[in-house]
């Protein structure tokens, strides 16, 4: 018999699975680092980890590395895990590689070059070029000089020819290259003694990790998250799953997580960064069915952060920094009690401390 879960149970499960309810933690047992913590924007990976109880000192140490992986975005992982991670984020097939590199695939196909072959070629070139820290733009210019025309495109904004962006990004870890944390534009540098593993460890299996952190889910949810074909995701679907109905939709959860799905959401308040994993689930309707709020939460450009109250996305927030002062502007979607507002203000103070700024106040939109 298929178990059925209401949205509050699913959201509560994700809060706990993603450890948003823990006051303190260590890198070694931070679950998000198995799938990767996206490091986009000022309040990126370090703030996501702070929201899971990781101290600023530990997050700033050498135990973490930033690399381009899923969807070509920068993600943070435990440095020791990179060989397994590299194997986990590899395209599942040549078709999958073509999907992940988007428009770069067409000229390669027309030239008779396979997508995986192309990633290997670009990775070899990056490996030869990046032997010391280099700015991304300098690496790109060198790649333009050594790669054949099918790998290159004319960029109108720059009025210059570059290697296709996604091919560049997805080949970088293959080449044994990481990003220096906090650099913008990015600085690339070689990883010392790096060799990808032959296969990923179970904890880094990206299909399994999605189910563990963002389940219950469908094959399509996972495929959309990875930019991979559904066929390839189905072929790698874990065997230890059970069916779970959510809002009338057939989904799957890991069998080990069934008991955790029975509980409701913990009572807590968090200011989630714009690219926090909680907001990256591909079933956005579960977070909000209101289209206007969805557009506000996930605009094409300039995403806000999300106010999480007791498992529900209950509004948005944006930082306003002036010198050493930080103001947080909050737009709530709920009628908030004084206790909720106090908890939001405590989280705003945590954010200011994280940024090493003085909190000048929390402004609530009318």
Q: What is the pLDDT along the chain (366 residues), one digit of tens a residue?
A: 688 999 999 999 999 999 999 999 999 999 999 999 999 999 899 999 999 999 999 998 899 999 999 999 999 999 999 999 999 999 999 999 999 999 999 999 999 999 999 999 999 999 999 999 999 999 999 999 999 999 999 988 888 899 999 999 999 999 999 999 889 999 999 999 999 999 999 999 999 999 999 999 999 999 999 999 999 999 999 999 999 999 889 999 999 999 999 988 899 999 999 999 999 999 999 999 999 999 999 999 999 999 999 999 999 999 999 999 999 999 999 999 999 999 999 999 999 999 999 999 999 997
- Give pLDDT, residue 160: 87
- Which residues, 6+ apart, have CB-to-CB distance to 357 below 8 Å? 321, 324, 325, 326
Positive or negative: CA dihedral 272, 278, 280, 283: negative
| Three-class DSSP category at 174 | coil
Neighbouring residues of 166: CB distance < 8 A, sequence distance ≥ 6: 72, 100, 101, 102, 104
Residue 304: which of 331, 341, 339, 322 has the closest Cα?
331
Residue 156: the pLDDT is 86
> Three-state SS for 76?
strand
pLDDT score at 1: 66
CA distance 270 to 141: 42
What pLDDT, on a 0 to 100 scale, did the predictor assign at position 308?
98
At residue 282, the 3 state secondary structure works out as coil
Upstream peptide bond of 216 is cis (omega within 30 degrees of 0) = yes
Q: What is the pTM of this model?
A: 0.96
């Amino acid at each position: 018999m298929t178990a059925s879960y209401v949205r509050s149970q699913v959201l509560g499960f994700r809060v706990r699975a993603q450890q948003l309810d823990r006051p303190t933690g260590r890198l070694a047992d931070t679950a998000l680092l198995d799938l990767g913590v996206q490091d986009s924007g000022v309040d990126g990976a370090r703030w996501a980890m702070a929201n899971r109880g990781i101290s600023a000192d530990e997050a700033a140490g050498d135990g973490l590395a930033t690399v381009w992986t899923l969807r070509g975005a920068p993600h943070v992982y435990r440095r020791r895990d990179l060989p397994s991670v590299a194997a986990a984020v590899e395209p599942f097939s040549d078709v999958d590689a073509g999907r992940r590199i988007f428009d770069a695939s067409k000229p390669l196909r027309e030239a008779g070059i396979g997508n995986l072959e192309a990633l290997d070629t670009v990775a070899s070139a990056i490996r030869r070029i990046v032997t010391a820290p280099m700015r991304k733009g300098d690496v790109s210019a060198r790649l333009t000089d050594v790669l054949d025309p099918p790998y290159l495109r004319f960029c109108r904004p720059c009025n210059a020819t570059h290697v296709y962006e996604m091919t560049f990004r997805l080949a970088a870890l293959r080449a044994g290259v990481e990003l220096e944390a906090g650099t913008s534009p990015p600085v690339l540098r070689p990883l010392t003694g790096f060799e990808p593993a032959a296969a990923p460890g179970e904890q880094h299996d990206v299909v399994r990790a999605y189910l563990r952190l963002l389940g219950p889910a469908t094959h399509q949810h996972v495929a959309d998250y990875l930019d991979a074909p559904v066929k390839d995701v189905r072929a790698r679907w874990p065997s230890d799953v059970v069916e779970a109905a959510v809002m009338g939709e057939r989904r799957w959860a890991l069998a080990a997580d069934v008991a955790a799905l029975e509980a409701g959401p913990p009572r807590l308040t968090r200011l989630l960064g714009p690219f926090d994993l909680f907001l990256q689930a591909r079933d956005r309707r579960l977070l909000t069915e209101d289209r206007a709020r969805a557009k506000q939460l996930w605009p094409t450009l300039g995403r806000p952060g999300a106010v999480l109250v007791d498992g529900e996305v209950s509004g948005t927030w944006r930082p306003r920094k002036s010198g050493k002062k930080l103001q947080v502007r909050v737009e709530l979607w709920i009628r908030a009690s004084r206790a909720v507002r106090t908890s939001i203000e405590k989280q705003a103070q945590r954010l200011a401390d994280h940024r090493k700024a003085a909190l000048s106040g929390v402004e609530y939109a009318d």
